[in-house]
């Protein structure tokens, strides 16, 4: 099997063929740190975290770079509103970003450059673009001339003629074309600035990512990722700068994740539906959020609806109940794989479950199908335990142990099922979290055990129900339960 990824540049799925065999250079646009991160940021971070985990699991040596934009118009504006220094505000939000990402079990990239660490390199690239005739200086600012690059707009599927026709009338008169964009911005009073041949100022947003990706991965690298909202103008302009300055191909594969809406509406502060990661984590366990954000294909839009998140939570509870049940039969797993660095699937060997998982993930990282596969495997394991009245023989116990091992390997690539069952189950509470199907199953299991005079098993079922927050009452009409 070969990993296939949808390449935004070609608008097709393509076999992934790295520049260097068994190596991959990946650059993902990070956050502009002017505020706390929202669930859209979480989706992008988790999508590319899983891509890196999976590629490493398949034997690739991955060099993963994700940046911080720590100087930008939004940061300056927000800092002025709060009466803070822009760089101090940026640091506060970088610290908060790490707290959020760590809770979501997102691995740290190999390199996490900040824009302010590479100002000199940005000035160097701007000089090259001016020398080559792709850029021009105007009154302390420097602009990129989009008309100088013949295929400008090819990444996002736009034509310069259409963009010019659709441009607003009140465009900057200093620009030669309405779509020309800033490479360097002259400093305004009270703004942070750096010395440059064009006076005090700071780099444009697009220039920052061109330089940082080139610096750590070279002028041409394998994969450039980010949210779909970055495709235009950010990624289009990144590509234009880099191709013009280096005279070489930039990213070979462009991978974009889809938007997140909230209850079918676009997320915005004006609508009052802007959900930060921290707000979401007050409502749902981190692993529930992670699994929910992987429950749809990464390129598809994802609606953050409470009922859907709770459905994922209910499913995750069932999985952990199954793992807890397994522990009572075969004990705890001896060890867990190093999912971050280990090559757990270097070949295509393994049972049907592993092969199916690999097939789904190789097909443009179909995590939605992979999550469904996990739930099917859990149902199968429960059926095996149910069919033998809770007393599987040695052959069946061996199968259950192997199934659990495969399940945990697969889940580890998705960054899930890493907690101890008791730890996760104790993190969920409240009426919404009672799994009625599981309650009924345990009541039936207890009834069967009592009929067979297996009092130990009956007591275990009652104890499990109590741990779920359920009280049972035996009545002439049958066993009743309540929270």
Task: Give 268-303 pLDDT, tens digit per residue.
Answer: 877 778 899 999 999 999 999 999 999 999 999 999
Q: Which of 74, 70, 33, 76 is nearest to 191 (CA)?
A: 76
Task: Give 387-417 pLDDT, tens digit per residue.
Answer: 766 577 888 889 999 999 999 999 999 999 9
In a domain, 8, yes or no: yes
% of the chain exceeding 90 in pLDDT: 74
Domains of the chain: total: 3
Least confident of 108-117, 357-366, 423-432: 423-432
In a domain, 284, yes or no: no
% of the chain exceeding 70 in pLDDT: 93
Least confident of 8-12, 103-107, 306-310, 340-344: 340-344
- Binned at pLDDT 50, 70 and 90, residue 267 comes out as confident
Side-chain half-sphere CA neighbours of 250 within 13 A: 23
Distance CA 128, CA 200 (A): 19
Q: Does residue 360 sit in the same domain as residue 451? A: no
Q: Does residue 409 sit in the same domain as residue 483? A: no
Decide if 100 contacts 282 (C-beta within 8 A). no
Residue 337 in this model has a pLDDT that exceeds 80: no
* Average pLDDT for 241-251: 97
List of long-range contacts for 389-394, beta carbons under 8 Å, 24+ apart? 389/448, 389/452, 390/329, 390/445, 390/449, 390/457, 392/329
Q: Does residue 420 sit in the same domain as residue 439? A: no
Decide if 209 contacts 254 (C-beta within 8 A). no
* Integer angstrom CA distances of residue 247 from 119, 134, 240: 21, 12, 10
* Average pLDDT for 311-324: 94
In a domain, 285, yes or no: no
Q: Mark which of 235, 266, 297 sits at the end of a domain.
A: 266
Mean pLDDT for the chain overall: 91
In a domain, 298, yes or no: no
Decide if 240 contacts 234 (C-beta within 8 A). no
In a domain, 326, yes or no: yes
Q: Does residue 186 sit in the same domain as residue 102? A: yes
Residue 117 confidence (pLDDT): 98
* Average pLDDT for 97-125: 98
Residue 342 confidence (pLDDT): 46
Q: Does residue 422 sit in the same domain as residue 444? A: no
Of residues 468 and 224, which shows the higher confidence score?
224
Please name the residues in contact with 171: beta carbons below 8 A apart, sequence gap of 6 or more: 178
Of residues 51 and 437, which shows the higher confidence score?
51
Q: Does residue 469 sit in the same domain as residue 373? A: no
Q: Does residue 330 sit in the same domain as residue 372? A: yes
Decide if 208 contacts 241 (C-beta within 8 A). no
Residue 416 confidence (pLDDT): 95
Residue 390 confidence (pLDDT): 59
Angle (CA) 26-65-411 rounded to 5° is: 70
Residue 341 confidence (pLDDT): 46
Residue 151 in this model has a pLDDT that exceeds 50: yes
Please name the residues in contact with 303: beta carbons below 8 A apart, sequence gap of 6 or more: 260, 261, 262, 263, 264
pTM of the model: 0.87
Q: Does residue 459 sit in the same domain as residue 377? A: no
Q: Does residue 413 sit in the same domain as residue 445? A: no
* Average pLDDT for 192-217: 97
Q: Does residue 444 sit in the same domain as residue 423? A: no
* Average pLDDT for 52-67: 96
- Binned at pLDDT 50, 70 and 90, residue 480 comes out as confident
329 exposure class (CB count in 10 Å sphere: 0-12, 13-18, 19+): middle
Q: Does residue 261 sit in the same domain as residue 198? A: yes
Distance CA 482, CA 418 (A): 30
Q: Which domain holds residue 320?
A: 305-429
Residue reference for tokens 């850029």: 135
The CATH number linked to 388 is 1.20.120.640
Reading the block at residue 329, the tokens are 């039969």
């Amino acid at each position: 099997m070969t990993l296939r990824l949808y390449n935004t540049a070609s608008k097709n799925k393509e076999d992934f063929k790295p520049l260097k065999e068994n190596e991959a250079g990946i650059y993902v646009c990070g956050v502009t740190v002017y505020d706390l991160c929202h669930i859209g940021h979480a989706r992008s971070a988790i999508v590319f975290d899983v891509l890196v985990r999976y590629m490493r699991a398949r034997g690739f040596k991955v060099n993963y770079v994700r940046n911080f934009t720590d100087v930008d118009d939004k940061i300056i504006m927000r800092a002025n509103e709060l009466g803070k220094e822009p760089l101090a505000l940026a640091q506060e939000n970088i610290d908060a970003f790490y707290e959020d990402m760590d809770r979501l079990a997102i691995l740290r990239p190999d390199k996490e450059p900040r824009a302010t660490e590479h100002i000199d390199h940005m000035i160097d690239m701007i000089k090259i673009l001016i020398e080559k005739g792709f850029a021009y200086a105007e009154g302390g600012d420097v602009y990129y001339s989009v008309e100088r690059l013949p295929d400008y707009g090819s990444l996002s599927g736009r034509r310069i003629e259409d963009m010019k026709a659709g441009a607003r009338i009140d465009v900057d008169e200093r620009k030669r074309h309405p779509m020309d964009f800033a490479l360097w911005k002259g400093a305004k009073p009270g703004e942070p600035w750096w010395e440059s041949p064009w006076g005090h100022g700071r780099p444009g947003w697009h220039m920052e990512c061109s330089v940082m990706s080139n610096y750590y991965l070279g002028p041409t690298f394998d994969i450039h990722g980010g949210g779909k909202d970055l495709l235009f103008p950010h990624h289009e302009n990144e590509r234009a700068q880099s191709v013009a300055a280096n005279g070489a191909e930039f990213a070979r594969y462009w991978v974009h994740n889809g938007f997140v809406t909230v209850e079918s509406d676009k997320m915005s502060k004006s609508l009052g539906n802007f959900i930060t990661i921290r707000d979401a984590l007050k409502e749902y366990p981190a692993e529930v959020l992670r699994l929910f954000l992987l429950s749809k294909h990464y390129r598809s839009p994802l609606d953050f609806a409470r009922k859907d998140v709770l459905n994922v939570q209910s499913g995750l509870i069932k999985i952990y109940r199954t793992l807890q049940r397994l522990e009572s039969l075969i004990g705890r797993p001896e060890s867990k794989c190093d999912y971050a660095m280990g090559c757990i699937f270097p070949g295509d060997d393994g049972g049907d479950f592993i092969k199916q998982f690999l097939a789904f993930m190789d097909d443009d990282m179909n995590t939605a199908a992979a999550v469904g596969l996990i739930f099917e495997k859990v149902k199968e394991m429960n059926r095996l335990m149910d069919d033998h009245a809770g007393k599987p023989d040695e052959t069946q116990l061996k199968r259950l142990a192997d199934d659990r091992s495969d399940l945990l390997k697969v889940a580890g690539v998705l960054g899930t099922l890493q907690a101890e069952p008791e730890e996760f189950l104790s993190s969920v509470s409240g009426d919404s979290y009672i799994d009625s199907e599981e309650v009924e199953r345990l009541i039936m299991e207890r009834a069967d055990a009592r009929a067979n005079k297996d009092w130990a098993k009956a007591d275990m079922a009652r104890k499990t129900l109590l741990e779920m927050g359920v009280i049972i009452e035996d009545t002439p009409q049958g066993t009743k339960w309540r929270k």
